[in-house]
Amino acid sequence: MAIRERLSGNEAVAYAIKQINPDVMPAFPITPSTEIPQYVANYIANGKVDTEFIHVESEHSAMSAAVGASAAGARVVTATSSCGMALMWEELYVAASDRLPVVLALVNRALSGPININADHSDSMGARDAGWIQIYAESNQEVYDNFLQAYPIAEHESVHLPVMICQDGFITSHGVENILLVEDEKVKEFVGEYCPAHYLLKKEEPMAVGPYAVSSYYMETKRGQREAMKNARQVILDVAKRFEEMTGRKYGFFEEYRMEDAEYVIVLIGSAAGTCKAAVDKIRERSGKKVGLLKIRVFRPFPEEELAQALKDRKAVAVLDRSEMFSATGGPLGTEVRSALYGAKSKAGVVNYFYGLGGRDITVEDFEEVYTKLEKLAQTHKAEDMYAYIGLREK
């Protein structure tokens, strides 16, 4: 019987960590993720878990300790946001190239500068090529559910890659919602025990982790990471299927909302999906126009073929990025989606918008305007504002 609760996104992640009871948590506080290690530290102090909490002097040290502990054979978790993740940058690549199944609770926040503490995706999108699996949440329920699925994905023998579970800072991390929790016993059975085959403290198998790779070996390491990322695609779906059997809640690479007959589609990531769903319902009820939403859940590995199949027969598609890339091809998500549609020889018109940078609000009315522009694009086949900013103060 599911447990009904009211929790913030940060509380939900901390509760999931309590249920999983990882071996080690090195962490350093940074807004808006500070509450996660704080809650876990309280669980430890109250004897609810026996996780070893490591107090470090910086986020670089936190990920360094996570790498060391994972290499030694421990199940490891940490949490951070924004500039804290930027300070981890070097170690993000180390964790991925060493094939260490570390799980990072990332509370998305704009990177400086200028200094800003509110939500956008510039931190995780900046690390999109570091070799980490990236899974995003719309709601508190989703971030809890995603976190429970993280370790079975990361630790799978054909994957062994780190995973970051992302949620939007303050919007979900501090907002309180009704949530269904899974019973402790079911979580423990679902996640299982971590029994790595190879680790530094295994006396029967002396080994090195993260040695210097000369030119003759470096590329093979990268190829191995790519193969693991490809393997992760099926593992993510298999774990989601097991999770659905346990909870009834279904997950995949993305969620399709009112997409059965949709001609005009918005593609985005994260909490703004809820507002977009309200706009979709409003437009369909008021005018009957066939609008829909495709919400990306898994950004790495990117579900190119599945996404192209879901979008290729639409009349027009708008991809909304919550992170600037300063590229001639658009934002991070926009670039990936357009590439997928090009490969599928889709005739759908595609535009890329930027929204919500630094925590700026996006409204139902903003989404309605995007759908209106998509209808015009489908009629004229001319994109007038390919890389526009939604809600920008022009004057």
Instruction: Please say whether the beta carbons of 49 and 21 come within 8 A.
Output: yes
The reply to whether 37 falls in a domain is yes
Q: Give the C-alpha separation, 359 to 346, whole Å.
A: 33
Q: Are 175 and 12 in contact (CB under 8 A)?
A: no
Q: What are phi and psi of 5, to 5 degrees?
A: -145, 170
Domain boundary among 224, 247, 270: 247
Instruction: Looking at the structure, tell me whether residues 24 and 122 fall in a common domain.
Output: yes
Number of C-beta neighbours around residue 387 at 10 A: 18
Token reading at 110: 């704009």
Task: Output the DSSP codes for 62-100.
Answer: HHHHHHHHHHTT--BEEEE-HHHHHHTHHHHHHHHHTT-
Query: Is 348 contained in some domain?
Result: yes
Same domain, residue pair 302 and 165: no
pLDDT of residue 301: 98
Residue 387 lies in a domain: no
Measured in degrees and rounded to the nearest 5, phi and psi for residue 240 equal: -60, -35
52/186 same-domain check: yes
Q: Quick one: 193 and 74 in the same domain?
A: yes
Instruction: Tell me which residue range forms the domain holding 96.
Output: 3-247
CA-closest candidate to residue 221, choices 313, 116, 335, 99: 99
Shared domain check, 162 and 131: yes
Domain co-membership, 130 together with 264: no
Can you give the pLDDT at residue 226?
Answer: 98
Domain total for the chain?
2
Is residue 392 assigned to a domain?
Answer: no
In contact, 246 and 186? CB cutoff 8 Å:
yes
Is 153 a member of any domain? yes
Residues 280 and 360 in one domain: yes
Task: Name the pTM for this structure.
Answer: 0.98
Judge whether 388 lies within some domain: no
What CATH number should be reported for the domain holding residue 273?
A: 3.40.50.920
Same domain, 216 and 278: no
DSSP class of residue 358?
G
Shared domain for 8 and 149, answered yes or no, is yes
Classify residue 107: in a domain, yes or no.
yes
Which domain-ending residue is among 208, 232, 247? 247
| In a shared domain, residues 229 and 262 | no
- Please state, in angstroms and as integers, the Cα–Cα distance from residue 8 to each residue in 13, 35, 178, following that order: 9, 10, 9
Residue 339 lies in a domain: yes
Q: Are residues 117 and 149 in the same domain?
A: yes
Domain boundary among 247, 273, 296: 247
Per-residue model confidence (pLDDT) at position 169: 98
**Could you tell me the two tokens for 16?**
């999931």
**Which segments in the chain show pLDDT lower than 70?**
395
CATH of the domain at 32: 3.40.50.970
What pLDDT is stored for residue 395 in this prediction? 59
195 shares a domain with 100: yes
pLDDT at residue 386, rounded to an integer: 75
Which pLDDT tens digit goes with each residue over 100-117? 999 999 999 999 989 999
